[in-house]
Amino acid sequence: MLVSIFNEDVLSDVDLRPREEEVVNEVREREEMVDEGIKELLSSFRLYSLLKAHTKVAAHSSSESYLVEDRNRLSNEVISVAKVLGVGLAVIESDKRDVEFLESRS
């Protein structure tokens, strides 16, 4: 509709994709938001804080990906989301001293 009113020139300078710098900064911010206890427990993974998700942390390595959840907060929704995404679950004890890996997938 804008093109029909203002011609194609109106869209020529519009780029709605985020700049690479913005994406990199957001990823860094998400990594920094992860709890220190979880970082220590899963030190071989890159960890990302998730917003608006059934779980709050995702873990990824070159060969494995997991949703991370506290055992006391584990729900059927988290299990279902992991299955849909084709990732495993890393279930962490509340004291953050032990983790159980379930259904590891790449």
Query: Tens of pLDDT along 18-31?
Result: 788 887 788 788 78
**What's the whole-model pTM score?**
0.70
pLDDT at 82: 93
Residues 6+ positions from 76 with CB-CB distance below 8 Å:
none
Q: By three-state DSSP, how is residue 50 classified?
A: coil
Residues of the chain below pLDDT 50: 105-106
**Measured distance CA(47)–CA(67) in Å, rounded:** 10
Token pair for residue 75?
A: 């729900």
